[in-house]
């Protein structure tokens, strides 16, 4: 009997185009957000890349690939001005659409529960790793801003004590 990872992989593979299309349509309706301003084709590229990654994680048990992907995504989305809430809403929308795919696939009750649990686990890891990386990026940025504020304050008020370091 195939395990839930294999079954979820098979479902993502079998309903790939339909799932990608529904995800893209859903993301374009996230308002107000950066996602509503992205054309369908760009959404399609992004979501195909993400679903391909999920399939890789399921087939190869390569959880590091998922962690690396979301860490890079956090860097990208932070630099593009996305909020954490926006990206979390996108993860929710993607997961919801995958759940719809799973639910309509006609699985037995036990298989359905196991597959949904596997999907939930994938997205929990993705959300948690993304949040950690995104917030680390924000903290680093805030620390740099605080240093600049301190330097500016010293420049304006006490030019004699201006630090020499370039941090």
Q: What pLDDT, in 10s, does the model give residues 67-114? A: 999 999 999 999 999 999 999 999 999 999 999 999 999 999 999 999
Q: How confident is the model at residue 138 (pLDDT cuts 50, 70, 90)?
A: confident
Lowest average pLDDT, out of 94-108, 129-143, 152-166, goes to: 152-166
pLDDT at 116 over 80: yes
Neighbour tally for 119: CB within 10 Å: 21
Contacts for 10 with CB less than 8 Å, ≥ 6 apart: 2
55 in a structural domain: yes
* Torsion sign over Cα 120, 66, 105, 95: positive
Buried-state track 134-148, b at ≥16 Cβ within 10 A, e below 16: beebeeeeeeeeeee
Residue 136 tokens, joined: 């680390």
Distances from the Cα of 110 to the Cα of 3, 14, 101, 107, 114, angstroms: 11, 20, 16, 8, 6
166 in a structural domain: no
pTM of the full structure: 0.84
| Structural domain boundaries enclosing 82 | 4-161
Domain CATH for 93: 1.10.490.10
> Could you give the residue ranges of the DSSP H alpha helices within the chain?
4-14, 16-28, 40-60, 63-79, 84-103, 109-157
167 in a structural domain: no
Nearest to 13 by CA among 125, 101, 118: 101
Tally the domains of the chain. 1
139 in a structural domain: yes
104 in a structural domain: yes
Higher model confidence: residue 105 or residue 152?
A: 105
8 in a structural domain: yes
């Amino acid at each position: 009997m195939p395990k839930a990872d294999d079954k979820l992989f098979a479902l993502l593979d079998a309903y790939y185009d339909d799932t990608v299309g529904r995800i893209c349509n859903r993301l374009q309706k996230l308002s107000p957000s950066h996602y509503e301003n992205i054309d369908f084709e760009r959404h399609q590229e992004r979501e195909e890349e993400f679903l391909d990654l999920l399939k890789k994680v399921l087939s190869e048990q390569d959880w590091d690939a998922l962690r690396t992907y979301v860490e890079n995504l956090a860097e990208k989305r932070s630099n593009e001005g996305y909020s954490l809430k926006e990206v979390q809403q996108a993860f929710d929308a993607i997961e919801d659409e995958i759940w719809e795919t799973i639910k309509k696939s006609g699985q037995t009750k036990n298989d359905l529960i196991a597959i949904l649990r596997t999907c939930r686990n994938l997205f929990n890891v993705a959300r948690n790793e993304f949040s950690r990386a995104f917030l680390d990026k924000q903290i680093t940025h805030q620390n740099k801003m605080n240093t600049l504020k301190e330097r500016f304050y010293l420049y304006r008020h006490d030019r004699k004590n201006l630090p020499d370091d370039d941090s």
